[in-house]
Structure 1
């Protein structure tokens, strides 16, 4: 198998499950050594780490709360120190809080913004201190930033929309350093939080041109492409991996 990321080091936030875990596995399969953060589930984190080791790559699992900016920056610095460098940052960790506008609390607002907006900013700020030419930052957003078909998404959609501005601005700022910054918008993806056989799955699928949920590996494939050499002239872009939900 071609290993286009051989010799690279990546950090994936929220890499202990779901899309993040699939990204960790795919980057390792493409030859990268991978650090990832997780919040609580040590058993799942160990399973993900084991998959990286089985692929013949080095791995570092860091328990860190993405709502804590010091923990986020510390995870970045630790990954660079222990794995020797940092070439790829995937801002994947997210908070998914839904509710009617009048029912959302200020604490829920602050939690969502802390994880979905502040953490990618802080991680990117820390990462670029370690990155050289050829580095890449990939933000993981949501197709809810572009199309909302259900009520209750105001807070979540707002937070994910912020990543569009962050991605474009950092793409412009870091372009002279040959560091690319791109955004992946997943659609409905079969994870524990949003299973393909869940109560709203049939309705969601009805809005999707391809008529089914994505697998986490589908999103991971797009992330790995944007992290690799074939995407070296792509920056500031948004890639929708949503089966045509936003058509």
Structure 2
């Protein structure tokens, strides 16, 4: 039986790259998305081209009922053995003192509450031998001063969630790890108001360039594989030296 993996925010960027890599590695995929139906259909087509099964589910990961529906849908393919907690947002780059309450709550809701709700559903359903990977960020330790400290704080909470949940679920045979990307070339930066940020930031990345979504997906795929069978509670930094 093929592993069944849920990928949140799987229609674009890092999530879509994870879905494609995992499908190539033999996973059946259920991914959720918010609005970009065209991108979701393209990701579905890419997965189907590998011969794997796939379902795209429109879902808001901050809504417990929609999260429940996402996992119910995934369970129609078989026991859920993997979760990639990836759905995330940022807000316009700017000084901490200019942060609005609306932006703060949205970032915390999606990047932290959504992760917790999805991890809860996964933990309740997963059999022994399953694994969860949370997408964190190098911002969790760098702090993102002058950009989005609140986003960095949410990602630091993701690291804590990863460590605590790994310890709690280890006796049940479920591994929990995180991948912390640095600056990656995705359209997340458009939301922040600086679409060319990856290229602007290249000179402060030790490797001299931003990352690509496929480079993050490779790390996620390894952490969900049997090759990482003794790895849990780890935050794997994939950040070009940041």
- Normalised-by-shorter TM-score class: over 0.9
Question: 1:223 maps to which residue?
Answer: 220
8 Å Cα contact 1:77/1:126 also seen in 2 = no
Q: TM-score, normalization: structure 1?
A: 0.92
Choose which of 199, 208, 211 in structure 2 pairs with 1:214. Answer: 211
Per-residue CA distance 1:113-143 (angstroms, 9 max, x = gap): 1100011111111111211111000000111
Q: Residues of 2 paired with 1:33 and 1:220: CA distance?
A: 16
Matched, 1:89 2:83: yes
Counterpart position of 1:164 = 159
CA drift at 1:95: 1.2
Secondary structure of 2:236's counterpart equals strand
CA contact under 8 A between 1:77 and 1:127: conserved in structure 2?
A: no
Deviates more, 1:217-226 or 1:143-152: 143-152
Once superposed, what is the RMSD of the aligned Cα atoms?
A: 1.6
Residue 185 of structure 2 is matched in structure 1 by: 190
5+ residue gaps in structure 1? 1-5
Q: Answer yes or no: is the 8 Å Cα contact 2:96–2:146 preserved in 1.
A: no
Describe the SS at the equivalent of 1:121.
Answer: helix
Is the 1:11–1:90 Cα contact (8 Å) retained in structure 2? yes
Q: Secondary structure at the match of 2:153?
A: helix
Q: How many residues are matched?
A: 238
Give the distance between the partners of 1:184 and 1:9, measured in 2 at CA. 20
SS of 2:52's equivalent in the other structure is coil
Alignment match of 2:170 (pick from 168, 175, 187): 175
SS at match of 2:83: strand
Partner of 1:224, secondary structure, is helix
1:60 paired residue number? 55
1:133-184 Cα shifts (integer Å, max 9, x gaps): 1100000011101114541321111111101110000000000011000010
Distance 2:198 2:49 in 1: 34
Would the alpha carbon gap of residues 235 and 165 (structure 1) be closer, same or farther in structure 2, given more than 3 Å must change? same
Distance in 1 of aligned mates of 2:114 and 2:23: 23
- 1:130 corresponds in structure 2 to 125
Give, in whole Å, the separation in 1 of the partners of 2:55 and 2:233. Answer: 29
> Once the two structures are superposed, what CA deviation does each residue of 1:27-65 show, in whole Å capped at 9, x if it has no partner?
000000000000001111000001111100000100011
- Deviation at 1:12? 0.2
TM-score by length of 2: 0.93
Q: Aligned partners of 2:37 and 2:195: how far apart in 1? A: 26
